[in-house]
A and B are shown apart, each in its own frame.
Chain A
Amino acid sequence: MDRQGNVLNKEQYIGAPIERAHLHRGFSSKKTPIKWIRFFRACVLQREIAQEQKSKRIKKIWFILLGVFLCNFLSIPLNFISETIGAFFGVIGMLTCPGLIVAGIMTYLTNKKFKKNFTDGFDFFADYFSALFTLIEEDLQLDSRIALEANVKDTVTEENLIKNESYTSESRGFISGVEKNYERVISKGSCFFNDESLIFFQFSERTRERIIKKRGSSGKRKTKHKYRAAYPFTIKMKIPKHKYQLNPSIDTTQISFAEDDEYYVFKVYRKFDVKKENPAQYNPYEESSISSFAVDYFSLEVINLINTCYSCVTPSA
């Protein structure tokens, strides 16, 4: 028996009939933690495989074009052997220019098809949520499933726009500016712990985009797009009253508290912000900065939100 178990590898995922392309663009499902982890792994592997196939295809297209181009040169010496063969190669060589256009279009379409089926940024999602679910796996009820809804599309799109206003700056050469705010719920979900507590979580991306028109030092006009993103993670926890007592002092600056007949309800919040937490990694010209948080850091911080809720109660003796 292999105690360490087997890992999923690429070969197992070529052509595997699991939930296909739609999962790369968003999904909503309930699964046990291990099934989610497998699912995330499969998504990442499928994307890798598709990316390899895509690059191969593009390489092939340009390789053929190169062949067509070389026919121009071959046709000259071949003319001495036979004029027919020479002319034949000459004609193929003449296809270089239209071929260039066709190859360009085919490359564009291949890339577009890939982008439609496989989104960027799924790797971070897979890593973070695999880590999080692994950490809480043993606290779930046996065979209990985690409900998870995800939207891994781009945040900076019209449908996520929540505010659009003009922006001014004192900086040199400034002509005009617009500031746009976007928000997308990356994922939300819920699960039960085996002490009957309920956990709800929501993870969002908030992006501020500044479009600045300015005059450069040479006097040339240019437009700059600058971004700042933050990632609020909210945990809402309902802890059963028949198992726990409320502690007398709760720090309500950090925790919102409510209660109903059966549960104490806590809500805590943690905003991940690269510019504040890891300024060296902040790049204003990149839309998303989530992948600059280490998986360990992210998952421990989220676990600490649950920890913070539990710190408000004591098990009834």
Chain B
Amino acid sequence: MEENKIRCEEFTGLFVVRNCENKPTIVCYKCKKNVCNIHAFKANKIVSQNSGLQVYKKKNAILCISCFVEFDARLTNDIELYSKDRSVWRRKMINRFHEEYPYMVFMADDYGSLFDSSSTVFLHDDSDDGSYFDS
């Protein structure tokens, strides 16, 4: 990877996985990844008994979502979905999905322009859903 083209080093998507296109605003305190606001989380919001965490909490460190999820001991049931924590919930569930199911994933990067996000935005007429469930 080229160093001069700086973008957020996290990813989005479940089936077609893409690199996050956002501008990074923060460096993860733990893994030093550049991440954008959406993928950055406050360490002192982590719910966990892990004592290794104290150093991050004390420093009011900002972590990337991957490091945050790694520490966060909450069960998915305890996460409110109408909040920014929704992405933490999603990451935890995706991790579980990877573990429990034979998982089909397409990395957008591997297929070049095929999943180029600028060319895939089609304004479909999404009204033609009538006859699909008459069987």
Q: Do these two chains really belong together in a complex?
A: yes
| A interface residues with partner B (beta carbon < 8 Å) | 3-8, 30, 34, 37-38, 41, 130-131, 134-139, 141-142, 145, 147, 188-196, 198, 200, 202, 234, 236, 243, 294-296, 299-300, 303-304, 306-307, 310-311, 315-317
Given known A-B contacts A234-B133, A304-B101, A307-B104, A192 and B83 have beta carbons under 8 A apart: no
Classify the interface of chain B: helix, strand, loop or mixed. Answer: mixed
Contact A190 B129 (CB under 8 A): yes
Contact B129 A194 (CB under 8 A): no
Contact B84 A5 (CB under 8 A): yes
Which residue of the partner chain B has the closest CB to A311? B104
Q: Give the contacts of B17-70 with A (CB-CB under 8 A).
A: 37, 40-42, 45, 62
Which residue of the partner chain B has the closest CB to A204? B133
Given known A-B contacts A3-B45, A236-B132, A141 and B15 have beta carbons under 8 A apart: no
Q: Give the contacts of B106-135 with A (CB-CB under 8 A).
A: 106, 110-111, 114-115, 117, 120-122, 124, 126, 129, 132-133
Contact A8 B15 (CB under 8 A): no
Given known A-B contacts A304-B101, A315-B111, A316-B114, A3 and B40 have beta carbons under 8 A apart: yes
B12 to chain A, nearest CB (A): 4
Chain B residues with CB below 8 A from A193, complex form: 15-16
Chain B residues with CB below 8 A from A200, complex form: 129, 132-133
Chain B residues with CB below 8 A from A3, complex form: 37, 40-42, 45, 62, 84
Given A3-B62, A3-B84, A134-B81, 12 extra CB contacts under 8 A: A5-B84, A7-B80, A134-B89, A137-B90, A194-B121, A198-B126, A299-B93, A300-B93, A307-B97, A310-B15, A311-B104, A317-B111
Q: Interface size for chain B: under 10, 10 to 19, 20 to 34, or 35 or more residues?
A: 35 or more
A212 to B75, CA, bound (A): 43
Chain A residues with CB below 8 A from B129, complex form: 147, 189-190, 200
* The 9 residue pairs across chains A and B that have the minimum distance between CB atoms: A5-B84, A138-B12, A310-B104, A190-B129, A7-B83, A41-B82, A311-B104, A315-B111, A5-B83
Q: Is B96 interfacial (CB 8 A cutoff)?
A: yes
Given known A-B contacts A188-B133, A300-B101, A315-B115, A307 and B15 have beta carbons under 8 A apart: yes
A148 to chain B, nearest CB (A): 11
A118 to chain B, nearest CB (A): 19
Chain A residues with CB below 8 A from B90, complex form: 134-135, 137-138
A224 to chain B, nearest CB (A): 35
Which residue of the partner chain A has the closest CB to B106? A315
Chain B residues with CB below 8 A from A131, complex form: 81, 93
Q: List 22 A-B contacts (CB under 8 A).
A: A3-B45, A3-B84, A4-B83, A5-B85, A41-B81, A134-B86, A134-B90, A134-B93, A135-B93, A139-B14, A141-B122, A142-B117, A191-B126, A192-B124, A194-B120, A236-B132, A300-B100, A307-B101, A307-B103, A307-B104, A315-B111, A315-B114
A195 to B15, CA, bound (A): 10
B94 to chain A, nearest CB (A): 8
A27 to B22, CA, bound (A): 35
Which residue of the partner chain B has the closest CB to A8? B82
Given known A-B contacts A4-B41, A136-B14, A196 and B120 have beta carbons under 8 A apart: yes
Q: Is B77 interfacial (CB 8 A cutoff)?
A: yes
